[in-house]
Amino acid sequence: MRDIILIAPPAAGKGTQSKLLQEKYHIPHISTGDLLRAATNEQSELGDIIRKTMETGALVTDDIVLRLLEERISKDDCKNGYILDGFPRNINQAESYLKLLEKLNRPLGDVIYLDASKDITKKRIVGRLSCPTCGAVYNDQIEDNKPKMFGTCDLCHGALSKRKDDNEETFEKRYQTFMNETYPLINYFRSKGCLYTVGSGISKERTFSEIEKIINRG
């Protein structure tokens, strides 16, 4: 099993595919956001630095993120591979990550780009509805995902709600940030001969099937 990096625009299914991969192949899903949040709960000098940085709204430095990542991927449960989510976000981080892998004597593995159109990803975010009672998720802009009764959960009949940041303005900012900072990684990893592109605009099942073909190749 190879290590896997997933790259995707907002709402292209990165979290969903990470979960499916983790469940089927029993490899850890490593989110740099989760690593940072966990570190803030530790009573250590590094934990204090991260906590104070995040409280001010500033970004934690790449050096700190790499320290946490090195510690995490050096653990026994990563020996057979892992899924990396949220890192690298730009070419500078990618170059630092490759140096870390060289230090740890690990190959780069597979980089999979989940490709979905801007129109589809916008609908997924702007139309997202969730049930606070049972956790079911719907979408009022995608026909197959609409609740049977407007504003009401099909499962428990609870009132559906929308997150405040699920709006067009926030989506546009997140999407533009992805295009400016993260999209250049596509050509960067393609030049390394390890990039694979998978369509993520139809269904999670079809996307997962295509990912499996990549990771199970000879």
Active site residues: 14, 89, 128, 163, 174
151 sits in the region (left: phi over 0; alpha: psi -120 to 50; else beta) called: left
Q: How close are the terminal C-alpha atoms of the chain, in Å? A: 11
Question: Would you state the torsion angle of the CA atoms of residues 150, 154, 158, 160, taken in this order, to the nearest 10 degrees?
Answer: -50
d(CA 204, CA 200): 7
d(CA 179, CA 135): 31
How many angstroms separate the Cα of 26 from the Cα of each of 36, 164, 217?
23, 34, 18
Closest-CA residue to 44 (of 73, 64, 58, 59) = 64
Q: Hey, what amino acid is at 218?
A: G
To which H or E segment does residue 113 belong?
strand 110-115
Q: What is the DSSP string of 152-166?
A: B-TTT-PBPB--TT-
DSSP 106: -
Q: Hey, what amino acid is at 152?
A: T
How many contiguous H segments (helices) and E segments (strands) does the chain have?
9, 7
